[in-house]
Amino acid sequence: MTPLVARASMMIAAQPERIFDAFVEPEALRAFWLAEASAPLRLGQPAHWTFLVPGAAAEATATTLDRPHRLAWDWSDGTKVEITIEPEGGETAVSVACSGFDGSAETQVATALATTEGFSIVLSDLKTWLESGRSAGLTAAKARLIIARGC
């Protein structure tokens, strides 16, 4: 089976540096995505990220930090995330690719689909936060749904 890559992208009316920093700095991460981040992303140094779903946490270890163009990290479960940030006609195109899913083919497909949905929500909330100054609560709403449905 060809390795699966989950992809999501969004145009955001913000400077590339602001978008890059939003994925690196704990205060920014808490504004649109996480419940907690133990430290900024730094090359080779794990940061503990706690998500909005109780018990959901992971270590993120930066493997690339090319401000403001590209960043990548490895999750503690072995998956890899790469984000590219490119100015495009007065806005900024942000693309996320996540790979390295384990398990059976069926499990990998299900995980890739859920990851695509998750990063689409994250990028949408990032867009709202950076463009309006306030999160729309999209990641929090998805967390509440996951909790309510127990999945």
pLDDT for res 1: 65
Residue 37 parent element (H or E): strand 36-37
- Letter string b/e over residues 112-135, b meaning 16 or more CB atoms within 10 A of that residue's CB: beebbebbbbbbbbbbbbbeeeeb
pLDDT for res 2: 80
pLDDT for res 107: 95
Separation CA 102–CA 59 (nearest Å): 17
Question: What type of residue is 124?
Answer: S
Whether this prediction's pTM lies above 0.85 is answered by yes
pLDDT tens for the chain, 151 residues long, are 688 999 999 999 999 999 999 999 999 999 999 999 999 999 999 999 999 999 999 999 999 999 999 999 999 999 999 999 999 999 999 999 999 999 999 999 999 999 999 999 999 999 999 999 999 999 999 999 999 998 6
Task: Output the CATH code of domain 5-149.
Answer: 3.30.530.20
